[in-house]
């Protein structure tokens, strides 16, 4: 499989080149040259396959012969070594829990896959991974890449804008993981990383790659759990039309779902649920793409005003704005609605939503399901947002990881300054 740049379809790379480069040489996002339809037989009998087999069936289409079959199976097994669970919170409304991985967030899937692929290709030359995080990505990447041979990881996170739990996860590793606290917001962190990738002088001196969802090795594996969802639904004999609400910040998760749809997943509608950082809902209403300054919310992983992956979504629909709006609804959910949904769901079913799942459920609730099935993605365990949730609910939340308050002392603080950032990377080589 080859991948082309969204800026120029003639600019192509194979899978290995694409995951090492992260962005094409012209600065464009990579996109698969083709999206293969899965066989009808596979989709109709998906309940007969285990998660590893499903993952392999998906990813072999993108990896091609860049990784031999037995090694790809091994990578998939290391990637999907945890459960994905459905929980019915009310009639025909299901939470799809993606947080049973090692850092309690859906990002574990993509981070695990990318880390294991890069390790597979290791050639004893130092590779520097640059990643901007609004919370969960940093923890997943730090965990997945920890102690990977010949790989250094630089995790940029905004000061005082991620949860205490997320920061402790990011800063507890040390060794080859370098957490960098930036004075600014997530978009500032993302801008520093983007600038580094456009810095030809830097790239001539050191090898860099990204573990953000701009990297196809982080983004595409997320398609797998949409097919695992199909399997879980078939187990409980649900064959109705499904509508999936995806809490959306950088739009990589919903974009992976759209890839799954192109591969044959039967989805009636997608709902892109954002918090008050509502660039995309406003774009759907006005046709004007106008990012504003990012506002801090309790669903901080979605505090993104200029989502990286949206150009890929437009490309999936051949830049046809009406076709895009026919398949995706974009819903803005404010803080009060988020908090009220957490209260309402707990009162009804004793189910504790995390703030991102709550945004997804509010977005879903605005859709008239009739006799259809509604799924919202629960992207992170509520323990990661314990302070916010315990202000809303009088509950104790058990920590599956038993993360202590003492964890998390490895970090460096930098201003939002590109020169300082690059100087630190060079000094740590």
Domains of the chain, by residue range, sit at 71-104+219-392
**What percentage of the chain carries pLDDT values higher than 70?**
99
CB 38 within 8 A of CB 264: yes
Q: Do residues 375 and 226 lie in contact, with contact meaning Cβ atoms separated by under 8 Å?
A: no
CB 218 within 8 A of CB 138: no
Lowest mean pLDDT among 53-57, 121-125, 191-195, 228-232: 121-125
pLDDT at 172 over 90: no
Cα separation of 69 and 112, whole Å?
18
Element (H, E) at 318: none
With a cut of 80, say whether residue 43 has pLDDT above it. yes
- pTM for this entry: 0.95
Among candidate residues 30, 212, 216, the one with its CA nearest the CA of residue 131: 212
* Cα angle 402, 405, 409; round to 5: 115
Provide the pLDDT confidence category of residue 173 given band limits of 50, 70 and 90.
confident
pLDDT at 405: 64
- Bridge partners of 32, per DSSP, are 3
CATH of domain 71-104+219-392: 3.40.50.1100
The tokens for 256 are 């992976």
Residue range 77-133, pLDDT digits in tens: 999 999 999 999 999 999 999 999 999 999 999 999 999 999 999 887 899 999 999
* Confidence band for 223, pLDDT divided at 50, 70 and 90: very high
Distance CA 396, CA 158 (A): 28
Out of 115-119, 184-188, 265-269, 334-338, least confident range: 184-188
Among residues 384, 334, 388, 391, the alpha carbon closest in space to that of 363 is found at 334
pLDDT, tens digit (0-9, with 9 covering 90-100), for 321-369: 999 999 999 999 999 999 999 999 999 999 999 999 999 999 999 998 8
Task: List pLDDT tens digits, range 65-78.
Answer: 999 999 999 999 99
pLDDT of res. 408: 59
Alpha-helical runs (H) found in 287-350: 310-316, 321-327, 335-349
Can you list the alpha helix ranges (DSSP code H) found in 136-274?
136-145, 164-170, 186-197, 200-205, 216-219, 224-235, 252-262
For residue 262, name the pLDDT band (cuts at 50, 70, 90). very high
Tokens at 234, concatenated:
């078939």
Active site residues: 107
User: Tokens 């969204």 belong to which residue?
Assistant: 6
SS3 content of the chain, % helix, strand, coil (to 5): 45, 20, 35
**Nearest C-alpha neighbor of 44 from the set 242, 226, 266:** 266
Q: Across residues 173-187, what is the average pLDDT?
A: 92
């Amino acid at each position: 499989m080859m991948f082309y740049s969204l800026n120029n379809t003639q600019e192509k790379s194979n899978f290995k080149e694409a995951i090492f480069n992260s962005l094409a040489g012209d600065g464009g996002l990579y996109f698969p040259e083709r999206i293969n339809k899965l066989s009808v037989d596979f989709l109709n009998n998906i309940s007969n396959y285990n998660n590893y087999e499903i993952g392999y069936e998906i990813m072999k289409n993108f990896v091609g012969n860049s990784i031999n079959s037995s090694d790809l199976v091994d990578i998939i097994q290391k990637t999907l070594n945890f459960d994905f669970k459905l929980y019915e919170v009310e009639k025909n409304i299901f939470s799809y829990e993606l947080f049973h991985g090692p850092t309690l967030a859906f990002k574990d899937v993509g981070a695990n896959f990318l880390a294991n692929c890069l390790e597979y290709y290791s050639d004893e030359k130092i590779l520097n991974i640059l990643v901007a995080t609004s919370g969960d990505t940093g923890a997943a990447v730090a965990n997945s890449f920890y102690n990977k041979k010949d790989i250094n990881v630089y995790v940029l996170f905004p000061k005082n804008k991620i949860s205490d739990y997320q920061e402790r996860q990011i800063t507890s590793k040390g060794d080859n993981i370098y957490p960098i606290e930036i004075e600014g917001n997530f978009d500032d962190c993302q801008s520093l990383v983007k600038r580094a990738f456009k810095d030809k002088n830097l790239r001539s001196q050191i090898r860099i790659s990204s573990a953000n969802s701009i990297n196809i090795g982080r983004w595409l594996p997320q398609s797998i759990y949409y097919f695992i969802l199909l399997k879980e639904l078939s187990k409980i004999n649900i064959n109705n039309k499904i509508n999936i609400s995806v809490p959306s910040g950088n739009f990589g998760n919903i974009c992976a779902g759209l890839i799954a749809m192109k591969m044959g997943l039967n989805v009636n509608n997608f709902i892109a649920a954002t918090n008050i950082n509502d660039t995309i809902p406003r774009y759907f209403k006005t046709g004007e793409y106008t990012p504003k300054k990012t506002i801090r919310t309790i669903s901080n992983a979605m505090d993104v005003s200029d989502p990286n992956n949206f150009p890929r979504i437009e490309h999936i629909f051949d830049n046809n704005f009406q076709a895009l709006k026919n398949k995706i609804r974009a819903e803005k959910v404010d803080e009060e609605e988020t908090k009220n949904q957490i209260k309402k769901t707990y009162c009804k079913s004793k189910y504790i939503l995390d703030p991102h799942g709550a945004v997804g459920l509010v977005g879903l609730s605005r859709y008239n399901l009739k006799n259809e099935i509604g799924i919202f993605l629960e992207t992170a365990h509520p323990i990661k947002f314990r302070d916010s949730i315990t202000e809303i609910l009088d509950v104790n939340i058990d920590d599956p990881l038993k993360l202590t308050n003492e964890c998390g002392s490895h970090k460096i603080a930098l201003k939002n300054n590109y020169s300082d950032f690059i100087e630190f990377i060079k000094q740590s080589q």
